[in-house]
Amino acid sequence: MRIVSISENKKIEKRIAITPEIAKKYIALGLEIFLSENYGEHLGFKDSEYKELGVKISNNEKEIIENADIIAQLGLLSEDKISFVKKNQILIGIFNPYSNKEKLQNLIKDNINIFSLELLPRITRAQSMDILSSQANLAGYKAVLESFASFEKAIPMMMTAAGTVPAAKVLVVGAGVAGLQAIATAKRMGAIVFATDVRTASKEQVESLGGKFLTVQGAENLETEGGYAKEASEDFKKKQEELLSETLKKIDIVICTALIPGKKAPIIIKDTMINNMQSGSIIYDLAAIQGGNTAFTEVDKIVDKNGVKIMGETNILNKLATSASSLYAKNVFNFVSNLYDKENNKININLEDEIIDKTLIK
């Protein structure tokens, strides 16, 4: 049984799906590993390090893919490389089935089994495979660091003989995994932190991290059975806008994390709200790639609106690629372990297993 991975387009994606630490675990499980040449070189993982573990390295990506049982990647293979994938092979990665629907359906027609890990159910048994949580956790942390680096004032309160520097005020929009990590990071660095979320269950989590939860009066609980946020009613949106408008007048840094799976990100911070913010404030929009939570977000640009800087990147995790790869590789290994029948040396696509059923694209 052979698991393989080839290099991603590093301009877009620097993370990798198999680290040396995890390669050792696959080999112990009884799997063969083939990787493309210089696979992890950019992260400091040399080919020699993989070879010492028993990993095979090749510069022929076509051959690697054609002879694979399992292909583990971050994103969907490019058009030229996807043509090498054959019947009954297994593709595992983050394939964004909402925007890649047509490409994925064409692969399914060719009897290729595709598992998209962002579709994992939110159940206890799937926690060790939960790529959304592991990657969002790092994204929330890095968003705070990026915004603080661009903020031209001190973050913690500082009392000096010359006077007192007040602590920066941070608002986190969306208290999912990324938002909660953003709250914890900002708090550790001495900021005063506020947070808002459409899911009322978030209040306790926010407050446990030392943040102040902004509650919309008469708020409804907008949480799906799977633990994700769902779209708010017009009445809720109006009340939320009023609360945010007032809050943003005194906020220095905003971290936006609000996403709805498979849909364009909701615009939460409107142009009028930004006009009322203090000059020098920062908005870091983690939802930029899905359209952004502000009216002016542009991917990979710093937009200046009346002195307020709005930032958002295609892939913030490229700035933490080693840590992100380490966690992602573990998630994938745990998923493969659940899929692999070691005793019979075969893949068991058991659709009675909720993890397998939910992630398999049909």
Cα–Cα distances (Å) from 235 to 58, 173, 242, 271, 344, in that order, read 58, 18, 11, 19, 57
* Residue of 83, 127, 150, 233 marked active site: 127
Q: Is 133 tagged catalytic?
A: yes
What element of type H or E holds 90?
A: strand 90-93
8 A C-beta contact, residue 248 and residue 273: yes
SS3 (DSSP) at 169:
strand
Using CA atoms, how far apart are residues 7 and 4, in angstroms rounded to an integer?
A: 10
Using CA atoms, how far apart are residues 64 and 35, in angstroms rounded to an integer?
A: 7
Q: Is 125 tagged catalytic?
A: no
Using CA atoms, how far apart are residues 196 and 247, in angstroms rounded to an integer?
A: 11
* Residue of 133, 134, 135, 325 marked active site: 133
* Residue of 2, 47, 122, 245 marked active site: 122
Cβ burial, residue 357 (10 Å; 0-12/13-18/19+):
middle
8 A C-beta contact, residue 171 and residue 254: yes
Q: Is 228 tagged catalytic?
A: yes
Q: Is 110 tagged catalytic?
A: no
* Residue of 2, 47, 58, 228 marked active site: 228
What element of type H or E holds 172?
A: strand 169-173
8 A C-beta contact, residue 209 and residue 184: yes
State the catalytic residues. Answer: 122, 127, 130, 133, 228
